Structure 1
Amino acid sequence: MVEITPLQPQDRPDWLELWHGYLTFYESEIDQATTAATFDRLTADAELHGALARDDDGHAIGLVHWLTHPATWTRSDYCYLEDLFVAPDARGAGAGEALIAHVRAWAERNGSAKVYWLTAESNATARRLYDRVADRSGFIHYQIRMP
């Protein structure tokens, strides 16, 4: 059974291990100062939210981060699920689905009009889960990076 718990300051070592796994998965690097600030914001900032998935032995096996923002198509906020990661050796045991369900329940309690997220086209394993629990929007993501 997977247990989902809100991210707490004492979770830093567990979160950091999962965060580094997430960055490695996406072949990305973030400097230590930004990583530290991200964790601090997730545990102290009212606008960023985080949770961990733990297995039966209490080991952290997954993380999720989300935030809400105003939208022009509704009077309610949208909930953006920004990061979702399950450790490779724990995949397929329901942690990803439980983390998504946790965010969905939070968003519903807090009046969000929808929950949405992005993933890499190549992320076939996660997309099988996403196709089961959500509808594809049909939109293509574009971005402009600032210097």
Structure 2
Amino acid sequence: MVGHMASMIYGYARISTNDQTTSLQKDALEKAGCDRIFTDVASGAKAHRPELDHMLDLLREGDMVVVWKLDRLGRSMQNLVDLMTTFDERGMQFRSLTESIDTSTPGDTLVFNIFGSLAQFERDLIRERTRPRTRGRSCPRAEGRMTRQT
């Protein structure tokens, strides 16, 4: 097998079945210099996206993933953060054209780390809300505490 010589720029587009923005996304990705573009036709909630999986299999250190808009890549903030973490761990860059995010710059890496922290905070809040109120815990209001916690 031939080694992966030059870094590649991969574009990823996702459209829903009734979405007409395919050409808009592809045009923007081509203008951004993508060597190859992967497109999935799926609803945002649909877990299986074969073209995204195919692209992830091809990615190598030094490559860049470009999307037209963040919501085209991730189904949720957590899914997006997981993908960003994967890119970062594998030495890849990420760029979102609409949001002007480019993780090859320190400032944008910081912004994405903040997104990750917010996603973790959201998960913690959900876990807190869905935890059974057993083990002697009572409603915060009944204990005289308001929900203002810092």
Q: TM-score, normalised by structure 1?
A: 0.31
Higher strand share: 1
Looking at CA atoms only, which structure, 1 or 2, has the larger radius of gyration? Answer: 2
